[in-house]
Amino acid sequence: MVSSDATPPFGKPYIESSPRRVRVLFGGKYIVDTKQAKLVYVYSFVTWEKPFYPTYFFHTSDLSSSHLRQSSEVREGVKIYDLVVGDREAKDAVTEFTDKNSELAGLLKVNFGSADTWLEEDERIYVHPKDPYKRVDVLQSSRHVRVEVNGVEVANTNRPRLLFETSLRVRTYMPLTDVRVDLLRPSNTTTECPYKGVANYYSVQLPNGEVHKDIVWYYRTPQPECGQMIGYVAFYDEKVDVWVDGEKQQ
């Protein structure tokens, strides 16, 4: 374990061994299958490696050189490779750290989005590895929450569910029956979260025809730890006016 400080952001790489078996699938082949993966939170000489969540790094021996092709990209202290399996290739998908003065020397990382599937043990993970120091809790509340968009009330509930996620603002989820569903318009937008699942969105169309795009989201099939959110929606507090127990939120 290497750390210059116990609290992120770290001045140097914070590296710890993962107790989980990690597999990376690409082109129908597990290009990585290891019980020695490293979770890294790092400000390195190369780049800021994801300030809000860790990245999996591997020993160079965990990925066969037969799947690596030298990239045309050149960067100091690292080697960049294309990932190649049969006819499949992913450009600049692998970074090997070669600076012998770096704590990351002898390690490499695979761009998460370049692989087809990532597994921790036999469970698929999405977007990025889960942070072992992060909690996501959904708690039933009796606070009175009211939401307006440009002076039009779009939600009013006394039974919200509050989602507490380490280091992020609290999000308020409201039952769909307490929302002006007549103002909601389905959107094609989706986003993904490794803790909550795939979010779908609504836009809000006010009676005057004004449209506020993608300011409401929900999880049709949330991850098990957030299963209480089924049937509930959340508004972007930053884009609407919200009152909690009669007090307008800033």
Is residue 117 located within the same domain as residue 155? no
Residue 9 lies in a domain: no
Q: How many independent structural domains does the chain possess?
A: 2
Predicted TM-score (pTM) of the model is 0.76
Write the burial class of residue 201 (CB in 10 Å: 0-12 exposed, 13-18 middle, 19+ buried). buried
8 in a domain, yes or no? Answer: no
Domain boundary residue among 105, 125, 145? 125
Is the per-residue pLDDT at 51 higher than 80? no
- Whether residue 78 is contained in a domain is answered as yes
Same domain, 144 and 46: no
184 shares its domain with 223: yes
pLDDT at 103 exceeding the cut of 90: no
- The answer to whether 46 and 77 are in contact (CB under 8 A) is yes
What are residue 226's phi and psi, to 5 degrees?
Answer: -120, 30
For residue 121, being part of any structural domain is answered with yes
| 237: helix, strand or coil | helix
The share of the chain scoring above pLDDT 90, in percent, equals 75
Residue 130 within any structural domain of the chain: no
Indicate the residue among 125, 145, 164 that finishes a domain.
125
Torsion angle of the four alpha carbons 107, 111, 116, 120, in this order, in degrees rounded to the nearest 10: 50
Q: Examine residue 5 and state whether it is found in any structural domain, yes or no.
A: no
Confidence of residue 3 (pLDDT cuts 50, 70, 90): very low
User: According to the model, what pLDDT value does residue 52 have?
Assistant: 63
Q: Is residue 30 part of a domain?
A: yes
Q: Do 150 and 220 belong together in one domain?
A: yes
- Find the Cα–Cα–Cα–Cα dihedral 120, 67, 91, 123, rounded to 10°: -10
> Per the domain annotation, does 107 fall within a domain?
yes
Domain that holds residue 170: 136-248
Q: Which of 149, 146, 169 is nearest to 158 (CA)?
A: 146
| Of 166 and 7, the one with more pLDDT | 166
